[in-house]
Amino acid sequence: MGMLPREPLTAGPVILRIPEDKDLDPLIRAYADPAVTRFIPFVPEEYGKDDALAWFAKAQDAWEGGGAQFVIADAGTGEFLGASLLKPPDRFGNSEIGYMLARWARGRGVATAAVRSLTDWGFSHGMPRIELLTGVENIASQRVAYRSGYTREGVLREEYATLDGVRHDSIAFSRLAGDPSDPIEPFLPFFPGGFPSGSLTDGVVRLSPLVPGDADDYHAMQSDPESYKYSVPPQAPSYADSVMRCRHAGMWWLSGQRVELAIRRAGTGAFAGHIQLANVVAPLEQAMVGYSLHRDHRGHGLMTRAVNLLVEWAFEHTALHRIIAGTALENTASQRVLERAGFTREFIVKGLLPRPDGTRVDDLQWARHR
């Protein structure tokens, strides 16, 4: 494939150009932002001039190795906005794209414009496949990938490590040279206000995205035998599983797999429970609602309110046409919730649900339609 031409690229409101000496100071300021360095491995906490000079040297190495490293700059003023990279191709000609965006450049579509332009440029020079890796909790970068036409391929477990030695999962995205470049719109949009700030409320309960800060409350609730006896499987999760659920919630939502929410008291913000849309079947426009309520918040009608809020949002803001639920025949409390929330009994599935003692019980299926 050879070396790529060192030429500027026009990308709508920005340009991608070769790094210059004047970029040194803004590069240092950009990397001083913890929100930038959180997801970029091996960036020192106190990023200084020597680190920036090393970045310039690595940029030169990237070009000489058959890759490319650009500064992202404002097309009108030339202001430094970030950096973007195409790694040197592997033996099959595949590359990986990366980028960094300064704090002052966010919220303007800069990253998407840069990634789309650099991807198309790579394809024009013979690259058959370009990958984009992003941290599981880096929702902003995942949105850039989707908006740039990249397809989510899966989770790479413990793919990278931060300076503290902790390993983290990544999400793998890719585009092929023959793929359509259209933005990929989410099947399940975030609540108004985005992730993780958006929420729904009726004045009594508030539904907000499950986040890592909810892990302790979620785990304590799910460790109560009264909470997990109707779960599948009917056992308490490990603490690691509870943390993972809270960390992966945004990624699952954005990818259309499921919506994981905390139920809170609207007045105090106290964690009261958990509700989810899971088992999403996009071609059928169907999903399943599931929920758990902390024992201290039972008996006040909170879950009926939560189910109503979530289902009404789903019917108004998504393509979902049918929401289903399942309850054990003896779980009359959950059945009352569904009845009050407008669900209709449909049929019984014999022996579907496992119990803690190894036996199986029937499952009563419910549904509510748009």
pLDDT in tens, 258-275: 999 999 999 999 999 999
Are 236 and 308 in a shared domain?
yes
Residue 61 lies in a domain: yes
CA distance linking residue 334 with residue 259, whole number of Å: 20
Contact 345, 334 (CB under 8 A): no
Are 82 and 27 in a shared domain?
yes
Angle between the 302-317 and 332-340 helix axes, to the nearest 10 degrees?
50
Are 121 and 250 in a shared domain?
no
Are 256 and 167 in a shared domain?
no
Confidence of residue 363 (pLDDT cuts 50, 70, 90): very high
* Per-residue confidence (pLDDT) for residue 357, from 0 to 100: 85
Residue-range definition of the domain harbouring residue 345: 200-369
Is the bond into 233 cis (omega within 30 degrees of 0)?
yes
Are 241 and 319 in a shared domain?
yes
* Per-residue confidence (pLDDT) for residue 313, from 0 to 100: 98
Residue 32 lies in a domain: yes
Of residues 339 and 45, more confidently modeled: 339
List, in order, residues 6 or more apart from 330 with CB less than 8 Å away.
361
* Per-residue confidence (pLDDT) for residue 49, from 0 to 100: 94
**Is the per-residue pLDDT at 199 higher than 80?**
yes
Which DSSP state fits 21?
A: G
Name the pairing type of β-strands 271-281 and 259-265: antiparallel
**Is the per-residue pLDDT at 286 higher than 90?**
yes
List, in order, residues 6 or more apart from 214 with CB less than 8 Å away.
246, 262, 271
* Per-residue confidence (pLDDT) for residue 1, from 0 to 100: 63
Are 270 and 346 in a shared domain?
yes
Residue 1 lies in a domain: no
Residue 349 lies in a domain: yes
Residue 317 lies in a domain: yes
Tokens describing residue 267: 């007045």
Name the pairing type of β-strands 95-101 and 129-135: parallel
- DSSP string covering 174-197, please? EEETTS-------SSPPPTT-TTT
CA 94 to centroid of chain Cα atoms: 25
pLDDT in tens, 146-191: 999 999 999 999 998 887 888 999 999 999 999 999 999 999 999 9
- State the CATH number of the domain containing residue 160: 3.40.630.30
> Domain boundary at 115, 143, 176, which?
176
Are 138 and 100 in a shared domain?
yes
Tokens describing residue 49: 């001039």
Residue 307 lies in a domain: yes
Tokens describing residue 219: 């785990």
pLDDT in tens, 141-158: 999 999 999 999 999 999
pLDDT in tens, 59-112: 999 999 999 999 999 999 999 999 999 999 999 999 999 999 999 999 999 999
Confidence of residue 226 (pLDDT cuts 50, 70, 90): confident
Give the SS3 label for residue 212: helix
Q: What's the pTM value of the predicted model, to 2 decimals?
A: 0.93
Question: Which contacts qualify for 138-144: CB closer than 8 Å, 24 or more apart?
Answer: 138/38, 138/39, 139/195, 139/196, 139/250, 139/251, 139/254, 140/106, 140/111, 141/39, 141/111, 142/171, 142/173, 142/251, 142/254, 142/255, 143/254, 144/99, 144/111, 144/112, 144/115
* Per-residue confidence (pLDDT) for residue 42, from 0 to 100: 82
Average pLDDT over residues 12-31: 95
Place of tokens 């139920």: 263
Give the SS3 label for residue 155: strand
Residue 169 identity (one-letter amino acid): D
- Integer CA distances (angstroms), 126 to 22, 95, 106, 120, 123, in order: 32, 11, 31, 10, 5
Tokens describing residue 337: 């919730």
Cβ neighbours of 227 (radius 10 Å): 18
Residue 188 lies in a domain: no
pLDDT in tens, 245-256: 999 999 999 999
Count of structural domains within the chain: 2
**Is the per-residue pLDDT at 224 higher than 70?**
yes
Are 89 and 145 in a shared domain?
yes
pLDDT in tens, 291-316: 999 999 999 999 999 999 999 999 99
- Residue 171 bridge partners (DSSP): 134, 155
Residue 55 lies in a domain: yes
Contact 230, 360 (CB under 8 A): no
